Each structure stands twice: as structure tokens, then as C-alpha cells.
Structure 1
């Protein structure tokens, strides 16, 4: 899903050893990227929590359906989790991210940023279903574990003198392999394949976090016009956002306690 983002045309600065303490422009650029990503995650979290609160109830009189685990769904919950509308909820984020990835160069910064917020909200709507599968405590624990891992990996990607560009094609092939294996497992329902996909997924998106951070850093060019720099920051934030969300979901399959 992140692949179209990588086709975004930028002017790269050769080398990876830029000193952020000296280059104030680079530091401001990276702070903007992280702030945009963080706000995107906040929107996703708020929408997910708000959705599950509206979708479930403890009042039998308000419930229109009861799940095997005992959760009772409201009419809204049944619509987004049990009716054909669920397919719109599932695929709407994909449509939004593809739209942003392919149209960003012709969009204004404000329009691109708004599209990113909309995408983050749609992801929150889609991910709200994890509260029906995993306990709230394990979801919280996995989130903080993901945040710690992501922070360390991104810091490594930002500070390392090692050129990580050689990992790019390998990691993208890994993402493609994960997608294919996940589709196959829809039919096989193999627990062993599920475990393998989850383990490989954690490794792939851990690598992508470091790789993308370094690549986003190299996208910075102090001579960029304001609009160009703004669009670069948004697309950089989107890439890191995707890395975080995918890392979180794969870790949740290991750390999550099912209800």
C-alpha cells in the first residue's frame, strides 16, 4: 500500500551524514514530518475509540446483534461490522491513500494535508474492529511497545552513517510477499502461515521504518519552494504513518490477548 508513495519525485541531497544540529532547516523539516505523522496517529486513535463506543452497547434493549464473545452491537455497529457496508469501511482507506499518493503533486499543501487527515480518520474507522477481537489492555500495551520500537528504529535511520538505500528493493519485495501470503491464507486459514506472516511483517516494517526515515531525510533540499517542501513533509509523514500502523498490527498478532 505504501508503494505509490515511493514514486514521489524529489531532489535528494547526496550522503546521509547531515548534522541536524547545524542544519536548522533539516531539523525543522523533520520535526514537521514527525508532527504530521503524530497528528495522523492521534486522529486514527480518536476515531477508532469513538467508533467502537458508538458501535457497541451494554444495554440489551439497544442491541441489534450479539457477537460470539458477548459484545452487543448497536445499529451503527452492525452497519459497519456486519452489513455489506463493512467492505466500504475496509477499502475506503486504500482508495484515500492511493488518491493522495498519485495526486499529491497537483494538490495544494492544504488539500494534501486535509486528505491525509481524512485518510487517518478512515483508518481509525477500519481499525476500530480490533477492539472486538483483542482486549483494550493488550491493545494499549502493543501501542506503547510499537511506539518505543518505532522511535528507536527511526532514530537509527536518522543518525546512522550507513547507507540503507540498498535495503529498499528487498523490503518492497517483502511487502509484496506479505500481501500475497496474506491473501493465500484467507483460503488456507493456516495458523503456521499466520505466525510466519506476522513475524516477517514485524521485520519488514522495522526495516522500512529505518529506511524510510533516512530516505525522508535525504528528500530535504533547502532550496525547495514552500509548497514543494510542504508536500514532501506530508508524504514523508504518510510513509512513516504507514510503517507505524503496519508494525503495530503485526505486533498485535503476537502481543494481543484475544477476548
Structure 2
């Protein structure tokens, strides 16, 4: 499965996930689910135990997301394998930071926090962060198996 097929799946988020799962073997999927679980546990532990307030860095996280999006668009034209690996690695890192940010927003006790009425928004953010971490890990480490 190539990176360009994955980008085509961005037009339909559910389609992208189904498409990714279709071509990954069961053992491979389970291995990446375990790796994602470890990353999520590490991010959750950091978010709850750290004194560092990542909610102050929302502007930097948005800028990093736009830079990642720009790199994806650039790689559509360059088709550079090294840029693909860099994009996947940065995607895992960026969505891990988004996960820490969202957990800190949810937990409160920092400069910015979500109200209890925004639980649907918070759960959707956490879901999307975890799914994107899984998909970027699958793209990054799954390419080495080919």
C-alpha cells in the first residue's frame, strides 16, 4: 500500500481506515494496535504527571500541523521516499503531542481546560488523535515490511 493511496483516502476518513485495515494482516494489525496502546499510555502518563503545561502551546501545535500538511502536499509532487518516512515520523510525534494536549485540556488544572459540557468534543478529539497515531505508525513501520 503506498502513501499516495493513503492520501486519496483522506477525502473519506472512514474509507481510509477500512482501506488500511483491509490490506494489513491480522497479526500485523494486532502488533500495531499494541504499539499504539503503548504510545497512548505513555502520552497519558506524561499528560497527567507532568508539570509542563502543553495547553499554552496551542499555536505551535497548529503551526506544526500546517507544516505537516504542507509537507504532505509537497510530497505529492516530489514522491521522495525519505520525505514519506519523515512525514510519518513527524505525524506520530505531532499526534502524540495533540493527545497530550487534549488530555491536559480534558483533565483541567492548566491554563486552558474544557468544561464538563464539552465531553463529546473531548472524546472526539481523543478518538481522532489515537486513530491518527495508529495510522501513522502503520504507515511508518509497515513500509519496512514490504
TM band (smaller chain)? 0.7 to 0.9
Aligned residue pair count: 135
Q: Quick check: 1:161 aligned with 2:68?
A: no
Query: What CA deviation, in whole Å up to 9, does each residue of 1:69-119 have, x standing for no partner?
Result: xxxxxxxxxxxx9xxxxx7x75344xxxxxxxxxxxxxxxxxxxxxxxxxx
Corresponding residue number in structure 2 for 1:248:
134
For the Cα contact (< 8 Å) 1:135–1:256, is it kept in 2?
Answer: no
1:114-125 → structure 2 map (5 Å cutoff): 123=14, 125=15
- Tell me, yes or no, if the aligned pair for 2:36 and 2:133 is still in contact at 8 Å: yes
Post-superposition Cα deviations, 1:120-155, rounded to whole Å, max 9, x if no partner, equal xxx2x4311114443332222111110121122023
1:138–1:255 contact (8 Å) kept in structure 2 = no
When normalised by structure 1's length, the TM-score is: 0.47
TM-score of the superposed pair, with normalisation by structure 2? 0.78
Structure 1 match to 2:87: 197
1:135 matched residue in structure 2: 25
Q: In the alignment, is residue 217 of structure 1 matched against residue 137 of structure 2?
A: no
Q: How does 1:61-140 map to 2 (within 5 A)?
A: 90-93=10-13, 123=14, 125-140=15-30
**RMSD of the TM alignment (CA)?**
2.4
**Superposed displacement of residue 202, structure 1:** 1.4
Partners of 2:63 and 2:74 lie apart in 1 by 17
Structure 2: runs of 5 or more not aligned: none
Q: Which residue, out of 224, 239, 249, partners 2:125?
A: 239
Measured in 2, the distance between the counterparts of 1:211 and 1:151 equals 14
SS of the equivalent of 1:128 reads helix
Q: How does 1:36-55 map to 2 (within 5 A)?
A: none
Q: Contact 1:139 / 1:256 at 8 angstroms: preserved in 2?
A: no
Long gaps (5+) in structure 1: 1-80, 82-86, 94-122
Instruction: Give the deviation of 1:220 after TM superposition.
Output: 4.8
Larger Rg: 1
Distance 2:70 2:114 in 1: 34
In the TM superposition, residue 171 of structure 1 has moved relative to its aligned partner by 1.7
